[in-house]
Structure 1
C-alpha cells in the first residue's frame, strides 16, 4: 500500500512538469467599462505592452503619433509613450515619452513604434521598431509630413517600409534613461525577407531568449507576412533566426509571446484578418495551432451591453501576473480615431 501511495505521489508531482497545451483565454474575456479604453484627443494611441513596476503600479508602453499626420503617420511620426495605472486594465494616464526617432544618421532615424517592455536579468528592455530613408539625408519635416499624409502610394514608402528593423533600449528604471544599441537586433533571413518588425520575446526554461519577428514571406507573389523565431543567449542579442517559421500558413501580424511555466509551454497570440488567434509550442521551435486557436472575433463587449466592432482590431498583448493571464490588450481604429483596450481576464 505504501509503495502504491508513493508511486501516486511521484506521478502527480512529476505530472506538473510535463508540457500541457490546455490554456483557454476565450472564456476568461470580460466585458469592459470606459476605464479600460485609452484614447487621446490629439494622438492616435496604438499597441501597448504592460509591466508591473517596483512601485506596485502598472506601466503601459505604447505607440502614439499626432492625428494631424493621418493614421499613416505611424511610419513617420510614432513615439513610444509611457502611461501608468493602479490596475492592469486601466484607467491609464500618460506620464512621459520614453523613446522617439533619433534623427538623421541612425538606423532608427524615423519613428519609434510597436513596443514590448520586459524585465530580464535586473534590467528593463524596451523593444521597438524604427526605420530610415537610407542614403537620402536631404529630407526635411515637410517631406516627412507629405509622406505621412499621402500614405502607402508615396515614393518614400517604398524605402521606409523595407528599412524597418527591430531594436532595443535598456534601462535600470521604467522611467529611464534608456540606452539604445547602435545597430538593429536582427536582419531578415530564413522564413522571412524584407524587414524584421513587431518583436515579441520571452525567456525559455533553458535560459535562452526566444524572439519572434515578422517579415515578408519569401518567394510569395501575394502580400503575406510570416512570423520567424530567433534565439539568443542574451536579451539584447545577438539572435539567430531559425529555419522553421512560427506561422507561414496564413497572413498574420503582431505576435505577443510568453513562456507558461506552469504548463511548460510557449504561447503566442496574433491577429489575422477575421480573428485574434493563438499558437503554441513545447520547445519554442516547432509551432502548431494552440488547442484554443481562435481566442475571439474582432469585437469588444461593453458592460452596458454594447458591442463595438472597430474598423481594425490589432496588436494583441497578453499581460501575465503571478503566472496567470490577467489582461488581453488590443488596439482598435474606428473612423479617424484609435483606442487601446485593456480587457480584464477572469481567473
Structure 2
C-alpha cells in the first residue's frame, strides 16, 4: 500500500528556525516597520514589500495611515535598503481611502500581484480631530475606529514589473461573506497543484455579541489570481481567536500548511485538499520570542504577521512583525534550516 497523505505531515517549522543577528532586523527611525512579504526579482535580488506606519501617528495608525514600501537585498534575510513607497491610501472617493496594510506579494505567470487590506469612512468626512481619534483610540463597537474596522476589505494591485506601475481597481476584490462576517483582512494566497489558486482570509465570526470579537478564517478558491474568488462553506479556523494566516503548498509532502498567530504563540495547521484543516503534527511553532545567533532568547510583546518565503519550493525564511517590550517595532527575518 502507498503512504497515505496524512502520514506526510512531518514538517517541523519550529526546529527549522535559526538564530538571527542585527542584519536580520529591519528598522526605521520615522516609521514602525511591521509585516513583510518578498519575491525574488529577475535581477537576482530579493524585493521586500513591507508595512509601515508613521511613528508620529502611533502604532495603531495601521488602520488609517499604513503604507507598503519596497526594499531590496542580496540575501532574503537582509540587510535591506529602502527603495520607495509602493502603495498608500488613495483618498476620498475610493474604497481604499485610508491605509494599505496586511499585504502579500506574489508573482504568478509573469505578473506581480500585491494583495492588501484598506478601509474608508463611508459617507462620513472625517475632520482632522476625528482622524486623530481613530489613530489613537482602541476599538469599541460604536466609536469611529469601530466603524472603520468594519469597512476593512481586501484588494489587489497588479504590475508587469517589480518597479510598477501598479494598477488598482474601483472595487475590492473580496467582501465579507459567510462563513466570515463584518469585514475581511489578513489575506494569503498560494497556487494549487491543479493550477488554480487558494486564498485564506480572516474575518469575524458571525452571531457574536456586539462588544465581542472572535476572529475566524475562511478559504476561497479561484482559477485566476484576480478571481472570481469563491468563498467555501467550511471555515479554516472557527471558535478560536487567531489571525494573520500564511498559507503555502508543500510540493514534497503534497499538502497545504498555514501559519497563524493566536495572541500568545504561533501555530501551524495543515490540509490535504485545502478545504478540511486540522492542527499539524508539529502545531506549536513559537511563543512570543526569538533566538539570536548567540543563543539568547529575546522575549517580545507581539510576534505577528508571519510569512514564509519559499525558494525552489522549500521554506527558506520566516518574516514577522515584532513589537519589543519598550514599544518599538521592527521587521524580523529568521533563516530556516533546510
Cα 1:327–1:16, aligned 2, differ >3 Å: closer, same or farther? Answer: farther
CA distance in 2, matches of 1:261, 1:15: 15
Match of 1:189 among 154, 166, 177: 177
Q: CA RMSD in A?
A: 1.8
The equivalent residue for 1:98 is 86
Write out per-residue CA displacement over residues 218-238 of structure 1, whole angstroms, 9 at most, x where no aligned residue. Answer: 112342100000111110111
Match of 1:161 among 149, 156, 162: 149
| Structure 1 contact 332–341 (Cα < 8 Å) conserved | yes
Does structure 1 residue 285 correspond to structure 2 residue 275? yes
The equivalent residue for 1:56 is 44
| Structure 1 contact 131–165 (Cα < 8 Å) conserved | yes
CA distance in 1, matches of 2:288, 2:33: 18
**Residue 142 of structure 1, CA deviation:** 4.6
Write out per-residue CA displacement over residues 143-186 of structure 1, whole angstroms, 9 at most, x where no aligned residue. Answer: 32332123435932121000000000000111111001211111
**Residue 256 of structure 1, CA deviation:** 0.6
Q: Calculate the TM-score normalised by the size of structure 1.
A: 0.92
The 3-state SS of whatever aligns with 1:341 is: strand
**Residue 21 of structure 1, CA deviation:** 1.9
The equivalent residue for 2:293 is 303
| Structure 1 contact 17–262 (Cα < 8 Å) conserved | no
Does structure 1 residue 82 correspond to structure 2 residue 70? yes
Cα 1:17–1:223, aligned 2, differ >3 Å: closer, same or farther? Answer: closer
The 3-state SS of whatever aligns with 1:72 is: helix
Does structure 1 residue 345 correspond to structure 2 residue 336? yes
Cα 1:301–1:243, aligned 2, differ >3 Å: closer, same or farther? Answer: same
What 5-or-longer segments of structure 2 have no aligned partner?
Answer: none
| Structure 1 contact 131–164 (Cα < 8 Å) conserved | yes
The equivalent residue for 2:246 is 256
Q: Larger Rg: 1 or 2?
A: 1
Write out per-residue CA displacement over residues 300-327 of structure 1, whole angstroms, 9 at most, x where no aligned residue. Answer: 1112333211111111111100111101
Aligned length: 334
**Residue 23 of structure 1, CA deviation:** 1.3
The equivalent residue for 2:57 is 69
**Residue 28 of structure 1, CA deviation:** 1.0
| Structure 1 contact 210–229 (Cα < 8 Å) conserved | yes
CA distance in 2, matches of 1:41, 1:321: 31
The equivalent residue for 1:224 is 214
| Structure 1 contact 18–264 (Cα < 8 Å) conserved | no
Greater alpha carbon shift after TM alignment, 162-171 vs 182-191 = 182-191
CA distance in 2, matches of 1:201, 1:240: 13
The 3-state SS of whatever aligns with 1:143 is: helix
**Residue 207 of structure 1, CA deviation:** 1.7
The equivalent residue for 2:302 is 312
Q: Calculate the TM-score normalised by the size of structure 2.
A: 0.94
CA distance in 1, matches of 2:129, 2:162: 33
The equivalent residue for 2:28 is 40
The equivalent residue for 1:8 is none
What 5-or-longer segments of structure 1 have no aligned partner?
Answer: 1-10
Cα 1:141–1:53, aligned 2, differ >3 Å: closer, same or farther? Answer: farther
Greater alpha carbon shift after TM alignment, 333-342 vs 127-136 = 333-342
**Residue 91 of structure 1, CA deviation:** 1.0
Cα 1:19–1:323, aligned 2, differ >3 Å: closer, same or farther? Answer: farther
| Structure 1 contact 19–265 (Cα < 8 Å) conserved | no
CA distance in 1, matches of 2:137, 2:12: 42
CA distance in 1, matches of 2:137, 2:6: 53
